Structure 1
Amino acid sequence: MFVSPVLVRALVALDAALGRALLAPPRDLELTERVVQLTSSRDLLLAAVEAERKRIERDLHDGAQQRLVAVAMTLGRVVSRLRKSGDEATREIVEGAREDARAAITELRELARGLHPPVLGDRGLGAALTAVAARAPVPVTVDVEAEPRPPAAVESAAYFVVTEALTNVAKHAGASRAWVEIRRDADRLRVIIGDDGAGGADPARGSGLAGLAGRVAGIDGTLTVTSPPGGPTLIEVDVQCG
């Protein structure tokens, strides 16, 4: 009579403990669910950032850029009238303002192109990188096979990695040529940027490669650099795009 309440409470506690152990989800399952949640949240965030980048690019193109073009055209008409009137001092001032407006238009176009070039969204990596190669001071060969097209965030990251890498080639490599190769294999996208320059590129020396590695890591990818003294330099990116 005296012992039975203690035994009952002990058995109830044991039963509750066994129930929690048997009914609670395994720790591995909790971790797996958490990883899935975080991955989904990251994908949503990347999609939102990409959409915002496109919006800013569109606003720059359709808003500020068009206004500056109108200002430059108006200043051009003023210059023509001043030239006829013979007021050379005022004409020179207005001419300088028009040149400043033209320079601002050029800078704004470069900024908008850097945010999200329209050709990337319209025609994909192949066309966008071909346009980049045409503007590069070093001859660049582009070979892209990335069908079906990767998600917008992955495509955008690959574009900016290639453009930044080619900028580094032009500034630091002393190369006579460079090449870009992009392949999609199932759910993986692989990007290789190479040049025949002097080599010796080191992400730890602040050459911009650390920033590229960070951008790639943001979409759960990896970036490796092979750059022995004397070259060639190879930048390889591997990212999931399925």
Structure 2
Amino acid sequence: MEKNYLKFLVSELIFVREDTLINLIPKTEKKYREIFGDLENYVDTLNLNIRKLRRNLKLLDKFSPDLAKKKAEEEFERDFEELREDENFDSQSRDLDEDKLREVEDLFRQAIFYYSPKLNDFSIEEFDQAREAFKKADKEGLEEFLKKDKPRELEMTNEQLEIMREDLEIETSILFERFPLNQLDMLEDKEAIDFNLNRLKNVYEEYQEIYGSLGEELNIKIAKKETTS
């Protein structure tokens, strides 16, 4: 296989990887969160509160009610903070017409072929300018980037390019096996969406019952401890 054609195949795989990370994953995750996000967050929050209550109950064996509550809250503070950060997730989607999107993609493909640090003597920091322009669908920014002097191609044998191609194929397939890409089919299937929503609702109702019973158990334990102290 000709070396230049191998370089083209590798650059195409680099494009697929970049497009997946920059565009497809955030877009898919945004759609997933629009459908399931609120309910999933309620379930996760309730689950954390259940775990905190159980910890509070255990700490009551050693500490006063106020101190046990404080220690339980401190132990779970980071978990709740991470949940709040997840709740504030924001994904920028690119609403472009098909023609402009193809133009932007073609320009980024050129940027990869001629400037990607994997294939050319070009710095990662400088190439990030092209990645950022692609992320923003900035056609003019990519056109300006392509005016840069073309760097020297890295000296690689056909065998090295073949290995790089195989590695990129494996890496890309792993990306597609991970969430949220494994949810793509479900997001187009109304029955699957309804099934998942019902599943989340059932879990939420089950957690509500557990949380209520643990709350009662905690109140009883606190009352007993206060009367014996």
TM over 0.5: no
Whose strand proportion is higher, 1 or 2?
A: 1
Q: Larger relative contact order (C-alpha < 8 A, sep ≥ 6)?
A: 2
Q: Which structure: greater helix fraction?
A: 2
After TM superposition, the score normalised by the length of structure 1 is 0.28
TM-score, structure 2 normalization: 0.29
